[in-house]
C-alpha cells in the first residue's frame, strides 16, 4: 500500500463545469470527448518530468536535468496549456512556468522558488495562479500572472500561497491560504485582488479549489477540527460545510456543481494509506478501497458525466481518472506517475 506523503500547503488543482452541446437526437453516436490530465512521470532514478496525458497517451513537457511537474491544464480550441514548475538539477531554485502546445513560458525569476498552480485561458489572455518566494527568506507571496505580468495578492508581512484559480466574466478568483508561516494558516480567496477570509486563524486551514456559480462562491479545502485531525470541508459564500467525519484526516481538493448537486473530491488517510473519494451533497463515496491507496485532485463535469483526476497505487503510483466512478488508468507504464489536473473537451 502507498505510504502517504504528508501534504504541504500547496495543492495544484483545477475545476470548472461546462454545458454539453445538445446532441442530435437522430444520431446514435455521442460526440468524441478528449480527456486531458496534467501531472508528472518519474524515471528509474526518481526524477520527475512534467507531462500531460491525452486519452491515456503521455506527452512529456520537460526533459531538463531537474525535477518538473505540471499542476493544471486548460484546453482552448486546438491549444493545450499546462501550468507547473521546473527546478534546476541541484534544486537551488524552482521556476513557475506554463507550456502552450509544449512550448515553455517562464513566469518567475531564476534565483528563487516559485510554483504555478492553476491556469485559465480567456480569449487571448492567459492567467496563471501561483506563488513565489520573497527574497528576504522562506516567505512566499500568493500571486497570479496575466500574460506574464505578475499581480501580488498576499500581505507582504505574511506568507501566502495561491492554489487554484477561475475566471468568471471579468472577475478573477484565486483560492489559497495566508498566515505567519508557522502556527496561523487562514483559508481564503481573493476576488480581483481583494482577500476574503474563510477561517479565523485559530486552527490550521487551507483552500485548494474554487468554483463560481452565478453569484455563489464555492471553495474546497480543509480545517483542523481542534482534535488534531485535518477535516475536509467546503464553504459556500463563506459558510462552512464539514465533509470529513473527524475519525481520519481528510482533505477536499476540488469542487463543482451539476444542477443542484454539489460534488467535492478529495481523499482521507489513516495508518499510512489514503482513500480516493468524493462527496455528493455531503455523502461520502469511496473510489478506492483498503487494497490500494488513491488520491483525487481535480474534477470536471460535462453534461451529466463526472470526471475525477488523480492517482492510484497498484504496484506503483499511476495517473488515473474516474468517469462516473469507474476507474481508468491513464498511465500503465512501469514508471511512477501522478495526475493533479483534468480537463475534458
Q: Which CATH number fits domain 35-344: 3.30.43.10, 2.130.10.120, 3.30.1490.20, 3.40.640.10?
A: 2.130.10.120
Q: What angle do CA 237, 240, 244 make, to 5 degrees?
A: 140
Is 328's pLDDT higher than 90? yes
What is the distance between the alpha carbons of residues 48 and 69, in angstroms, rounded to a whole number?
Answer: 7
CA neighbor of 81 nearest in space, from 108, 57, 64, 103? 103
Q: Are 268 and 275 in contact (CB under 8 A)?
A: yes
Query: Beta-carbon neighbour count of residue 225 at 10 Å?
Result: 17
Q: What is the pLDDT of residue 271?
A: 79
Is 174's pLDDT higher than 80? yes
In the chain, % of residues over pLDDT 70: 91
What's the chain's Rg over C-alpha atoms? Answer: 19
Read off the pLDDT band of 184 (50, 70, 90): confident
Q: Are 186 and 205 in contact (CB under 8 A)?
A: yes
Is 206's pLDDT higher than 50? yes
Question: Looking up cell 505578475, which residue turns up?
Answer: 150
Mean predicted confidence (pLDDT) in 55-72: 97
Mean pLDDT score across all residues of the chain: 90
Domain assignments of the chain as residue spans, ordered by start: 35-344
Q: What is the pLDDT of residue 24?
A: 35
Q: Are 150 and 185 in contact (CB under 8 A)?
A: no
Q: What is the pLDDT of residue 222?
A: 98
Q: Are 97 and 105 in contact (CB under 8 A)?
A: yes
3-state secondary structure of 129: strand
N-term to C-term CA, the chain? 33
Q: What is the pTM of this model?
A: 0.91
Between 8 and 72, name the one with better pLDDT. 72
Burial class (CB in 10 A: 0-12, 13-18, 19+), 63: exposed
Read off the pLDDT band of 28 (50, 70, 90): very low
Q: What is the pLDDT of residue 110?
A: 84
Amino acid at each position: 500500500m502507498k505510504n502517504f506523503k504528508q501534504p504541504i500547503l500547496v495543492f495544484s488543482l483545477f475545476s470548472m463545469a461546462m454545458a454539453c452541446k445538445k446532441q442530435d437526437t437522430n444520431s446514435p453516436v455521442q460526440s468524441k470527448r478528449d480527456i486531458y490530465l496534467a501531472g508528472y512521470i518519474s524515471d528509474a532514478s526518481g526524477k520527475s518530468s512534467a507531462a500531460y496525458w491525452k486519452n491515456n497517451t503521455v506527452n512529456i513537457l520537460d526533459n531538463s536535468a531537474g525535477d518538473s511537474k505540471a499542476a493544471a491544464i486548460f484546453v482552448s480550441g486546438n491549444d493545450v496549456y499546462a501550468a507547473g514548475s521546473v527546478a534546476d538539477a541541484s534544486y537551488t531554485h524552482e521556476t513557475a512556468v506554463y507550456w502552450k502546445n509544449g512550448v515553455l513560458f517562464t513566469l518567475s525569476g531564476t534565483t528563487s522558488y516559485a510554483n504555478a498552480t492553476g491556469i485559465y485561458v480567456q480569449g487571448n489572455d492567459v492567467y496563471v495562479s501561483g506563488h513565489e518566494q520573497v527574497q528576504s527568506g522562506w516567505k512566499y507571496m500568493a500571486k497570479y500572472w496575466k500574460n506574464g505580468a505578475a499581480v501580488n495578492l498576499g500581505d507582504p508581512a505574511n506568507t501566502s500561497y495561491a492554489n487554484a484559480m477561475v475566471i468568471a466574466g471579468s472577475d478573477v478568483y484565486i483560492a489559497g491560504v495566508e498566515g505567519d508561516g508557522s502556527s496561523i494558516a487562514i483559508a481564503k480567496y481573493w476576488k480581483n485582488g481583494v482577500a476574503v477570509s474563510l477561517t479565523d486563524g485559530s486552527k490550521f486551514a487551507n483552500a485548494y479549489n474554487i468554483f463560481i456559480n452565478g453569484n455563489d462562491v464555492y471553495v474546497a479545502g480543509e480545517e483542523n477540527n481542534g482534535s488534531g485531525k485535518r477535516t475536509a470541508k467546503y464553504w459556500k459564500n463563506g459558510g462552512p460545510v464539514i465533509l470529513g467525519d473527524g475519525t481520519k484526516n481528510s482533505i477536499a481538493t476540488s469542487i463543482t456543481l451539476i444542477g443542484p448537486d454539489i460534488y467535492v473530491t478529495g481523499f482521507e488517510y489513516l495508518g499510512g494509506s489514503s482513500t480516493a473519494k468524493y462527496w455528493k451533497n455531503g455523502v461520502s463515496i469511496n473510489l478506492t478501497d483498503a487494497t490500494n491507496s488513491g488520491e483525487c485532485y481535480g474534477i470536471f463535469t460535462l453534461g451529466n458525466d463526472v470526471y475525477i483526476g488523480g492517482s492510484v497505487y497498484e504496484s506503483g503510483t499511476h495517473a488515473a481518472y474516474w468517469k462516473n466512478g469507474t476507474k481508468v488508468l491513464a498511465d500503465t507504464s512501469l514508471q511512477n506517475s501522478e495526475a493533479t489536473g483534468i480537463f475534458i473537451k
